[in-house]
A and B are shown apart, each in its own frame.
Chain A
Amino acid sequence: MDGFVVLAILETLVTAASSVQTFVLKSSNSLSKLYIESLRKMLPIQTVTLIPGDGIGPEISTAVMKIFEAAKAPIQWEERNVTAIKGPGGRWMIPPEAKESMDKNKIGLKGPLKTPIAAGHPSMNLLLRKTFDLYANVRPCVSIEGYKTPYTDVDLVTIRENTEGEYSGIEHLIVDGVVQSIKLITEEASRRIAEYAFEYARNNQRTSVTAVHKANIMRMSDGLFLRKCREVAENYKDVKFTEMYLDTVCLNMVQDPSQFDVLVMPNLYGDILSDLCAGLIGGLGVTPSGNIGAHGVAIFESVHGTAPDIAGKDLANPTALLLSAVMMLRHMGLHGHAKKIETACFDTIREKKVLTKDLGGNSKCSEFTADICRRVQDMD
Chain B
Amino acid sequence: MHTTVMMAALTKALKPILGRHLGNTAKVFGAAVNSQRGKPTYTILHLWPSSVLKGQIIPPPAKYGGRHTVALIPGDGIGPELLNHVRELFRFSCVPVDFEVVHVNSSSTSEDDINNAIMAIRRNGVALKGNIETNHTMPPNHKSRNNLLRTSLDLFANMMHCQSLPGVQTRHKNIDIIIIRENTEGEYSSLEHESVPGVVESLKIITRNNSLRIADYAFKLAREKGRRRVTAVHKANIMKLADGLFLQCCKEVASGYPDIEFDSMIVDNTTMQLVSKPQQFDVMLMPNLYGNVVSNVCAGLVGGPGLVPGANYGRDYAVFETATRNTGKSIANRNIANPTAMLLASCLMLDHLKLHDYANMIRGAILTTMNETRLHTADIGGQGTTSEVVQSIMRIIQSGGPLTTEI
Contact = CB atoms under 8 A, between A and B. Distances in A.
Interface in B321-343: 324-326
Given A166-B239, A187-B198, A221-B202, 18 more contacts: A150-B172, A150-B275, A151-B171, A179-B242, A182-B204, A185-B199, A187-B197, A216-B134, A219-B139, A219-B190, A247-B325, A248-B326, A253-B300, A254-B301, A255-B304, A268-B235, A272-B267, A280-B275
Shortest beta-carbon contacts, A-B, top 6? A177-B208, A279-B272, A254-B300, A187-B198, A275-B268, A150-B171
A359 interface: no
Contacts of A171: 239-242
B293 A250 contact: yes
Given A217-B188, A217-B190, A279 B147 contact: no
Contacts of B144: 216-217
Contacts of A250: 271, 293, 296-297, 300
26 contacts: A171-B241, A179-B207, A180-B205, A181-B204, A183-B203, A184-B201, A185-B200, A185-B201, A216-B144, A219-B142, A220-B194, A220-B202, A247-B293, A248-B326, A250-B297, A251-B300, A251-B324, A254-B300, A255-B304, A268-B289, A271-B267, A273-B271, A276-B275, A278-B272, A279-B274, A283-B272
Contacts of A224: 198, 200
Contacts of A150: 171-172, 275
Nearest to A176: B208
Nearest to A174: B205
A222 B239 CA distance: 19
B245 interface: yes
Interface in B2-33: none
Contacts of B242: 171, 179-181
Q: Considering residues A151, A169, A178, A226, which has the most beta carbons from chain B within 10 angstroms of its beta carbon?
A: A178
Nearest to B298: A254
Contact of B147 (A182, A217, A280): A217
Contact of A184 (B134, B188, B199, B208): B199
Interface in B235-261: 235, 238-242, 245
B383 interface: no
Interface of B: prevailing SS: mixed
Contact of A276 (B206, B240, B272, B295): B272
Contacts of B194: 220
A273 B271 CA distance: 8
B199 A223 contact: no
B193 interface: yes
Contacts of B176: none
A36 to B, nearest CB: 44
Contacts of B39: none
Contacts of B46: 177
Contacts of A219: 136, 138-140, 142, 190, 192
Contacts of B301: 254
B187 interface: yes
Nearest to B143: A219
A251 B274 CA distance: 12
B271 A276 contact: yes
Given A179-B207, A183-B201, A223-B140, A283 B304 contact: no
A182 B324 contact: no
B235 to A, nearest CB: 8
Interface residues of A, number: 56
B239 A254 contact: no
A149 interface: yes
B109 interface: no
B269 interface: yes
Contacts of B140: 219-220, 223
B61 to A, nearest CB: 33
Contacts of A181: 203-204, 206, 239, 241-242
A173 interface: yes
B84 interface: no
A184 B297 contact: no
A167 B202 CA distance: 12
Given A173-B241, A216-B144, A272-B268, A246 B204 contact: no
B279 interface: no
B293 A246 contact: yes
Contacts of B200: 184-186, 220-221, 224
Contacts of B325: 247
Given A150-B171, A150-B172, A279-B274, A218 B202 contact: yes
A219 B139 CA distance: 7
A150 B169 CA distance: 13
Nearest to B242: A181
B198 A186 contact: yes
Nearest to B196: A186
A276 B46 CA distance: 36
B404 interface: no
B116 interface: no
Contacts of B373: none
A185 B200 CA distance: 5
Interface in A211-233: 214-224, 226
B253 to A, nearest CB: 15
Interface in A153-195: 166-167, 169, 171-173, 176-188
B271 to A, nearest CB: 4
A166 B273 CA distance: 23
A357 B293 CA distance: 31
A247 B324 contact: yes
Interface in A252-310: 252-255, 268, 271-276, 278-280, 282-284
Contacts of A215: 136
B209 interface: yes
A224 B275 CA distance: 31
B322 to A, nearest CB: 12
Contacts of A253: 297, 300
A284 B268 CA distance: 11
Contacts of B138: 219
A247 B240 contact: no
Nearest to A280: B275
B275 A151 contact: yes
B292 interface: yes
B309 to A, nearest CB: 15
B74 interface: no
A183 B273 contact: no
Q: Considering residues A218, A221, A275, which has the most beta carbons from chain B within 10 angstroms of its beta carbon?
A: A218
Interface in B296-323: 296-297, 299-301, 304-305
Given A181-B203, A183-B201, A275 B271 contact: yes
